Amino acid sequence: MILHALGVSSLCLPSETTVHQLFSVARHVGAIPDISLDPVLTAFLSVESRASLLHQYAALQRGMTPEHLAAFRSNLTGELGGSSRVRHGGVGVVALALSVLFDLVAKQVPEQQDATALLFGIRRSSRIGRILHGFLRQIPGVANDPERMAEATELNDNLLKLELIDHYERMTNKKRMSSEAMRQWLAGAAVHLHMRIHQVRLKSVPPGSAESLRLSYKTAFSQLVQDYASYLRRNVRETPPGVGAHRPTAARPGDGRVPEATASHHRTDSGTEREPSKANRGPVTPGLTEGQVGPARPQGPLDRAATAPHRLNLTTVANRAATPTGGSEGVLRHQGLTETDASPAAVPASGNSGGGGGAEHSTAAGEGLLVIEGTRNVSHSVQHRACESPVIEQALAVRLLDAQDLDEIRVFFQYSQQLFDHLLGQRGDFDLKIRWRKKNLN
């Protein structure tokens, strides 16, 4: 009855094949959002941090010439104030900082100041990105001085705490939710928790302070997942082939949106642009045309989720599409993107996309259009009836949420007491001397 009231016939349900094909089209061109924790964070902010750092350190040197190796060692020692040993260098945020330093020194290039440069999958120019980058670059110079290290950690702990609170409020109460905003908050919360754990190691705060912070982030993440699911349901729009131009609602001044645009490039972790390579595209799916796609992170754990069998109850999805959540406007009206201050800027328009105040999405004659978060726009030729689009949009939102590696994130904030105690008790300096590795490098 609700479907009929909204003009959606109960007989107008798409097939699972249609939903799967459209999802595959989006995955093929890298248009699926990814909010998972960066693998660098999960590797170095863990009980395996020392092993991860040793592996990286050896791997970087293995391919160096003798001249490059000598320069690498000398530059590292210089960054560490002339010392070859780093206090607590094998654990937590110090190990993470050394990992960043090793990569930087190995490349022998100045740090990029490009606003699009990424750190742990988030833009370094964002508020959270700036705090993380500044803290991690500060650590090598103060790690061997317990007093200075404690001061630096406490200062950045407070800065990051306040920014994470503001960021959370913007996402939950000011309608500034986005995949980019989720990535920023998760990366910031992960590092912040381990800042607090490191302060326990330094005896600057009691162990209960770290445990309390962990529990608060566990609760906050559960709420954010619910809000993110609602956000996806509002920000997936699809038009079948032959319907004509697809024109989402123009962004209104002051509503937190950015002008929408399309582009045929992916953005890499270094902030540079590249054409989607055939190697990264995956198998060609029936119904795929060469689409245009806006900024998207390189694929990670999504590939695994995207290839797993999905059995959606499309009748249930249809009912969800017609529920008052978001209202009929939320189902039938094409909306733009809401972003945080640090969301990816729209890429310069390519081809048939307009710029300026209100965005207008159009496709080649006869092609359909799939729009995810307003800036990821993919043309397609998957045939279906126009009345199926509202249900398809809701089904795709479910698929997009299922594609996120939420379990890994939950585990990060749901340590068992035994594991958490292990993290709090972690100790271990890191020695840059590599006599024991020489046989592997010759």
**Tens of pLDDT along 222-239?**
999 999 999 999 999 999
As beta bridge partners, residue 273 has 267
Q: Which residue has the higher pLDDT, 95 or 296?
A: 95
Q: Which residue has the higher pLDDT, 295 or 176?
A: 176
Sign of CA dihedral 201, 207, 209, 212: positive
Task: Name the least confident of 84-93, 176-185, 217-226, 430-439.
Answer: 430-439
Nearest Cα residue to 401 out of 220, 182, 175, 82: 182
**Domain match, 306 and 199 both:** no
How many separate domains does the chain show?
A: 2
Those residues with Cβ within 8 angstroms of residue 80's Cβ, 6 or more apart along the chain or in another chain? 86, 140, 141, 143, 144, 432
Angle between helices 92-107 and 127-142 (to 10 degrees): 90
pLDDT higher than 80, residue 132:
yes
308, two tokens: 């797993």
**Domain match, 376 and 427 both:** no
What is the DSSP-derived secondary structure letter of residue 80? T
**Domain match, 223 and 247 both:** no
Mean pLDDT of all residues belonging to the chain? 74
pLDDT higher than 50, residue 418:
yes
- pLDDT value of residue 301: 36
pLDDT higher than 50, residue 388:
yes
Percentage of the chain surpassing pLDDT 90? Answer: 45
Task: Name the least confident of 25-39, 107-121, 304-318.
Answer: 304-318
Burial of 402 (0-12, 13-18, 19+ CB in 10 A): middle
Place of tokens 């945020």: 93
**Domain match, 268 and 393 both:** yes
**Domain match, 77 and 218 both:** yes
Cα separation, 234 vs 18, in Å, equals 20
pLDDT level of residue 394 (50, 70, 90 thresholds): very high
- pLDDT value of residue 420: 81
Residue range 12-44, pLDDT digits in tens: 899 999 999 999 999 999 999 999 999 999 999
Cα separation, 137 vs 128, in Å, equals 14
> How far apart, in Å, are the Cα atoms of 123 and each of 98, 105, 139, 185?
20, 21, 20, 12
DSSP codes joined into one string, 236-303: EEEE-TTS--B-PPPPPTTSSB------B-EE-TTS-EEPPPHHHH-S--TTB----B-S-PPPSTHH
Question: Is the full-model pTM beyond 0.85?
Answer: no
pLDDT higher than 60, residue 426:
yes
Average pLDDT (331-355) is 33
pLDDT level of residue 135 (50, 70, 90 thresholds): very high
pLDDT higher than 70, residue 254:
no
- pLDDT value of residue 392: 96
Q: Which residue has the higher pLDDT, 228 or 74?
A: 228
SS3 content of the chain, % helix, strand, coil (to 5): 50, 5, 40
CA dihedral 323, 325, 330, 336 (to 10 degrees): -150
Instruction: Produce one character per residue of 130-154: b if its CB has 16 or more CB atoms within 10 Å, e if not.
Output: bbbbebbebbbebbbeeeebbebbb
Measure CA of the first residue to CA of the last residue in the chain; give whole Å.
Answer: 75
**Domain match, 180 and 85 both:** yes
pLDDT higher than 90, residue 359:
no
Residue range 141-167, pLDDT digits in tens: 999 999 999 999 999 999 999 999 999
pLDDT higher than 50, residue 272:
no
**Domain match, 47 and 147 both:** yes
**Domain match, 214 and 113 both:** yes
7, two tokens: 């003009």
Q: Which residue has the higher pLDDT, 324 or 395?
A: 395
Residue range 2-19, pLDDT digits in tens: 333 344 455 789 999 999
Average pLDDT (122-126) is 87
Average pLDDT (325-337) is 32
**Domain match, 26 and 113 both:** no
Backbone angles phi and psi of 256, in degrees to 5:
85, 5
Nearest Cα residue to 15 out of 423, 372, 314, 241: 314
CA angle, residues 366, 33, 343, in degrees to nearest 5: 105
Cα separation, 70 vs 85, in Å, equals 17
In terms of residue numbers, what domain contains 414?
39-227+408-441
**Domain match, 195 and 181 both:** yes
Amino acid letter, residue 109:
V
Residue range 339-348, pLDDT digits in tens: 333 333 333 3
Cα separation, 165 vs 275, in Å, equals 37
Q: Which residue has the higher pLDDT, 311 or 265?
A: 311
Q: Are 415 and 422 in contact (CB under 8 A)?
A: no
**Domain match, 270 and 395 both:** yes
- pLDDT value of residue 419: 81
Element of type H or E holding 86 = strand 85-86
- pLDDT value of residue 154: 96
Q: Are 294 and 375 in contact (CB under 8 A)?
A: yes
Amino acid letter, residue 247:
R
Average pLDDT (381-386) is 92
- pLDDT value of residue 67: 85
pLDDT higher than 70, residue 441:
no
Cα separation, 113 vs 133, in Å, equals 12
**Domain match, 158 and 79 both:** yes
Task: Name the least confident of 177-181, 209-213, 294-298, 397-401.
Answer: 294-298
